[in-house]
Structure 1
Amino acid sequence: MKPQYRLTTTAMIGVCAALVSGTGIAAGEPVAGTGDYDALDYAVSLEYRSGTREMAGTTTLKARAAEPLSGFALDFAGGKVGEVTVDGRPAGFETRGEKLLVFPHRLAGGTEFTVTVDYLVTRTNGPDGHGPWREIEDGFALGPQMYETMHHVFPCKNDIADKATYTFTITAPARLTGIATGDLIATTPLGGDRTARTYRMAYPMPVDDGQIAVGPYSWITRGGPDGVTIRDVVPTAQADRLRETLARTDDQLRWLTAKLGPYPFGTYGIFAPLGTISPFESQTMSTIQAATLSAGPADYVRVHELTHQWFGASVTQKTLADNWIAEGHAHFYGAWYDAGQSRPGSEDAFADSMRMFYGIDQKTRDREGPPAAPKPISGQTQRAGGALALYALRQTVGPRMFEEIERAVAARFKGGLASTADYIKTAREVAGRDVTALLTDWLYAKKTPPMPGHPDWKPDGAAS
């Protein structure tokens, strides 16, 4: 959705159920009679066959009971369930709306258990076209996370704060390539001219931060800055044409690493899908169409999505209200890098970009609420409003101290969760001064605060 900026990384969780849920219990809603558990690891196997939108699937979830369990719920809206076992024993189950309710032998609190579900998933979006599936002539990909994607693909715990590790095995005709988030660890030829590719995501990942696709794609792999492996996935027929523009990732990765600290994963790349898909980030991979890579706002788009590897994937927001941490950072650094391309090294170019968003911030707050207390339907306040909060902090503490704060947040919460309170506390501790009031105003106030260092800026865009 660039340059309008994307509604992703759960920025629209509040509206998702209305978009994609059917009757019954929507994904993410609690169910009476079921208990809580922590997801630890998923093994997901899917088989794509040409000419049908149905895929056989098996998902095995390793989990730990957070309390004594006589029943628990998985989120699943993708198709028909065939069999469910818990620790290898058949378990009772039923489906209600977007919930798969499982009734195993009683599990004591703290017990680790394994649930395996065999199912048939159907790649069908809602009657209004909303949904995660993006079909091509022979293959598919997943669309942005605003559709709460993964519970349409496999049974899971639809909670972005419950991060887990993943193994994806995608089986497809040998002429096509199965793609998934993670490192490719096995390619296995099968009978019937099929190939299974297995990917491992060893870093804990939010449930909706993955990508799965099948199509006529090829890998382009090379060494990147600081030992990072750059691994792009592109349409085979366009590979040669895209190599030059894909090489720009190196500069963008160096630029962000200098500001945020080491890249949090071992690999990164761009998936350039066929078909029409708005840009979005998944852990270690950004989905950006080939046409967008060569368009005018490409630098903004690419750095926006790359920033999400630090804020969104590695440092994951605890709740929807904390989502400004992901979207605000992505917009802040995307706009900063893009401004620097027009006027290299110019602080004025970045300030001009921030001033434009400052000018419409009050209207955005009136419509969507403040960045850390958004209304259910919001897209701009956490993105642009969050970026303005970061800019105000930088204006207050200075560029060098701001960089220290950012690097500290990225390091302290690497691989985990961070809240708005966590960010404010870290900023206060690293800066050695109380910036609580400043950040509280920018993140929670109904009225746009004055921008430090720019007394001439007006929330309505008017000159002083």
Structure 2
Amino acid sequence: MRKNLYLLLFAPLVFSLTVKAQQPGATIDVQHYRFAITLNDADNVIKGQATITAKFLKAASNFELDLAKKNSEGKGMLVTALKENGKALKFTQDSDKVIINTNAIAGSMHSYIITYQGIPTDGLIISTNQYKHRTFFGDNWANRARNWLPCVDHPADKASVEFLVTAPARYKVVANGLKVLEKPLPGNKKLTHWSETAKLPTKVMVIGVADFAVSSPGSPGGTPVYTYVFPEDKEVGFKSYAVATKILPWFVKKIGPFAYKKLANVQSKTIFGGMENAGAIFYYEKSVNDKGIEALMAHEIAHQWFGDAISEKSWEHVWLSEGFATYMANLYLEGTYGADTLKTRLAADREVVFSFEKKYLAPVVDSTFKGTMISMLNANAYQKGGWVLHMLRRKIGDEAFWRGVANYYKQYNGGNANTDDLCVVMEKASGANLKQFFAQWLRTAGHPQLKITWDYNVAGKTVAIHINQLQEKPYQFSLECSVDGKLYKWDVKALATTFSVPAASAKPEIKIDPNVNLLATFAE
């Protein structure tokens, strides 16, 4: 999700839901969702019938699903019936849950049919686009699916999903997976059925319903790529979104097979600049004219591997989604346009990290975070997470880095991982002990603050470069330095370190970190 460049457009919006750690001892593991949703143009009421197939992880007499109840303003979902095998079950609704009374033994599989309706408070954005045309767009990140879908609204519970959307016939519908049915219904309506067999977290399950112009710019590697844009933007949108056919195969070659059977890139009306919904990425309305569309699309397409196929086990590990997408987009741009492009982007990202730390000093893996969900989308998760991956790449080398990334994807595709899981995979790929590296960059707040001075030895024709770490505890890192055009690389572990190198004159040309490989500040 590319929040940093574009979410400022939506700054007044605030989420009240705060971060919740993964709940230990979950009762169920959802295997499959089947959501039948009816939309209309007369009002914003949606009618839903959800069939939820779940495996019980332990014996239980009841279990909970997330669903926002109708509030005092009349918005929210009201459950009208709940059945298993045609038999009505007792249930209760509180503000954010449906509690279902049912007897189940550990390991048993059950399917429940929940009938409900209401006006979504969030999650499904019913609005009008910039051309004043009515639109419906799912927008579930992070745990906003509960506002229109009964579900286990946490990334650790992944399931396959179907959407059966009944809507006025003039709309086109896009969703996760493949379209398996589209047929007219009486009353000038239409049923569209999409099905995704891969396991997804609810945060990336969506529908998009609007008057779309649709094109297919190509099928790289056999994966069909589609463009969905508003008809008024058809010419520019088809052209700008077509770059996806170049981005997708680059990541496939580097990381591994694409997890989904199609990739749709969709002009939308939601709150984010880009949202990585699995196989159906949503972009903000004006993205079709965005000069940075290639970078934005690279970020969101990278998410299909990191965040979608591999999801974080709990929210404090969100950098595994956003940091990966940030750095993978940078790597794509480096591979496409050269090393200087990467250096420029890293230098800019580094300044964003330092600016953010002045406002909020915390580790990337922030287990004590108490803010709103939206506040987790910050420079720690994006730019610093990306920088950590860059330094890891430089530490273990390109070959081991890409081998580790591919192995990480192969091992956790369709499941969940946390930071320690990544560390183990990268240690195996590189043969190096990376625990200290992960601890200092991801579980420690701040960064190295360096003061570097030098003096010249006339007799020895050498220059002594003094590296002093100004923060309380020393970091361990590699520092590159160019002296008269020759590059040196030193391992620094102490608060004060000196290295001497040959120099032809008393005024050598010295450049610290010339290749932008260290996340540090350099004091004069």
Quickly name the TM-score band, shorter chain normalised. Answer: 0.7 to 0.9
Partner Cα separation in structure 2 for residue 349 and residue 35 of structure 1: 45
Structure 1 segment 71-220 matched on structure 2, within 5 A = 71-77=62-68, 78-104=76-102, 106-125=103-122, 132-136=124-128, 137-143=133-139, 145-146=141-142, 148-220=143-215
Residue 38 of structure 1: which of 15, 29, 33 is its match? 29
Unaligned runs of 5+ in 2: 8-13, 69-75, 449-474, 482-511
Q: 1:174 to 1:416 in 2, by over 3 A?
A: same
| SS at 2:263 equivalent | strand
Residue 345 of structure 2: which of 344, 350, 353 is its match? 353
Partner Cα separation in structure 2 for residue 153 and residue 28 of structure 1: 22
Deviates more, 1:38-47 or 1:171-180: 171-180
Q: Contact conserved, 1:35 with 1:71, CA < 8 A, in 2? A: no
Partner Cα separation in structure 1 for residue 20 and residue 401 of structure 2: 38
Q: Following TM superposition, by how much is the alpha carbon of 1:197 offset from its aligned partner in structure 2, in angstroms?
A: 0.1
| SS at 1:452 equivalent | strand
Structure 1 segment 236-251 matched on structure 2, within 5 A = 236-251=231-246
Q: C-alpha root-mean-square deviation of aligned residues, in Å?
A: 2.7
Partner Cα separation in structure 2 for residue 134 and residue 410 of structure 1: 35
Q: How many residues align?
A: 439
Partner Cα separation in structure 2 for residue 334 and residue 41 of structure 1: 32
Partner Cα separation in structure 1 for residue 260 and residue 21 of structure 2: 28
Q: Which residue of 1 aligns with 2:460?
A: none
The aligned amino acid for 1:121 is G
Residue 364 of structure 2: which of 350, 358, 371 is its match? 371
Give identity over the alignment, percent.
20
Q: 1:214 to 1:3 in 2, by over 3 A?
A: closer
Partner Cα separation in structure 2 for residue 279 and residue 144 of structure 1: 12
Q: Which residue of 2 aligns with 1:317?
A: 312
Unaligned runs of 5+ in 1: 8-14, 20-25, 126-130
The aligned amino acid for 1:328 is G
Q: Following TM superposition, by how much is the alpha carbon of 1:405 offset from its aligned partner in structure 2, in angstroms?
A: 1.2
Q: Contact conserved, 2:233 with 2:288, CA < 8 A, in 1? A: no
Q: Contact conserved, 2:322 with 2:381, CA < 8 A, in 1? A: yes
Deviates more, 1:218-227 or 1:355-364: 355-364
Q: Which residue of 2 aligns with 1:22?
A: none
Partner Cα separation in structure 2 for residue 6 and residue 74 of structure 1: 32
Q: Contact conserved, 2:32 with 2:160, CA < 8 A, in 1? A: yes
The aligned amino acid for 2:363 is P
Cα-to-partner distance string for 1:303-335 (whole Å, 9 max, x where unaligned): 110000000111111111221111101111223
Deviates more, 1:51-60 or 1:295-304: 295-304
Q: 1:460 to 1:392 in 2, by over 3 A?
A: closer
Cα-to-partner distance string for 1:372-422 (whole Å, 9 max, x where unaligned): 225333322111111111011111111222111111111111111111111
Q: TM-score, normalised by structure 1?
A: 0.87
Q: Which residue of 2 aligns with 1:66?
A: 57
Structure 1 segment 225-264 matched on structure 2, within 5 A = 225-264=220-259
Q: Which residue of 2 aligns with 1:12?
A: none
Partner Cα separation in structure 2 for residue 297 and residue 355 of structure 1: 17
Q: Following TM superposition, by how much is the alpha carbon of 1:234 offset from its aligned partner in structure 2, in angstroms?
A: 1.9
The aligned amino acid for 2:60 is L
Q: Which residue of 2 aligns with 1:438?
A: 437
Over alpha carbons, which structure has the higher Rg?
Answer: 2
Q: Which residue of 2 aligns with 1:48?
A: 39
Q: 1:193 to 1:132 in 2, by over 3 A?
A: closer
Partner Cα separation in structure 2 for residue 94 and residue 201 of structure 1: 30
Partner Cα separation in structure 1 for residue 223 and residue 26 of structure 2: 41
Cα-to-partner distance string for 1:90-126 (whole Å, 9 max, x where unaligned): 000111111111112x21111111111101131334x
Q: Contact conserved, 1:144 with 1:278, CA < 8 A, in 2? A: no
Q: Contact conserved, 2:159 with 2:199, CA < 8 A, in 1? A: yes
Q: Following TM superposition, by how much is the alpha carbon of 1:454 offset from its aligned partner in structure 2, in angstroms?
A: 4.0
Residue 478 of structure 2: which of 448, 452, 457 is its match? 452
Partner Cα separation in structure 1 for residue 416 and residue 394 of structure 2: 26
- Does residue 327 of structure 2 align to residue 332 of structure 1? yes
Cα-to-partner distance string for 1:67-90 (whole Å, 9 max, x where unaligned): 112111111013111001123210
Partner Cα separation in structure 2 for residue 361 and residue 237 of structure 1: 38
Q: Contact conserved, 1:62 with 1:115, CA < 8 A, in 2? A: yes
Partner Cα separation in structure 1 for residue 2 and residue 100 of structure 2: 41
Cα-to-partner distance string for 1:343-372 (whole Å, 9 max, x where unaligned): x222x3313322333345355346151112
Q: 1:386 to 1:459 in 2, by over 3 A?
A: closer
Cα-to-partner distance string for 1:118-166 (whole Å, 9 max, x where unaligned): 01131334xxxxx6524114232123614x2211111111121110001
Q: Which residue of 1 aligns with 2:283?
A: 288
Highest RCO, 1 vs 2 (Cα 8 Å, sep ≥ 6): 1
The aligned amino acid for 1:99 is K
Q: TM-score, normalised by structure 2?
A: 0.77
Q: 1:211 to 1:460 in 2, by over 3 A?
A: same
Residue 262 of structure 2: which of 256, 259, 267 is its match? 267
Which has the larger share of strand?
2
Q: Contact conserved, 1:359 with 1:460, CA < 8 A, in 2? A: no
Q: 1:349 to 1:267 in 2, by over 3 A?
A: same
Structure 1 segment 387-402 matched on structure 2, within 5 A = 387-402=386-401
Q: Which residue of 2 aligns with 1:221?
A: 216
The aligned amino acid for 2:110 is F
Partner Cα separation in structure 2 for residue 240 and residue 2 of structure 1: 24
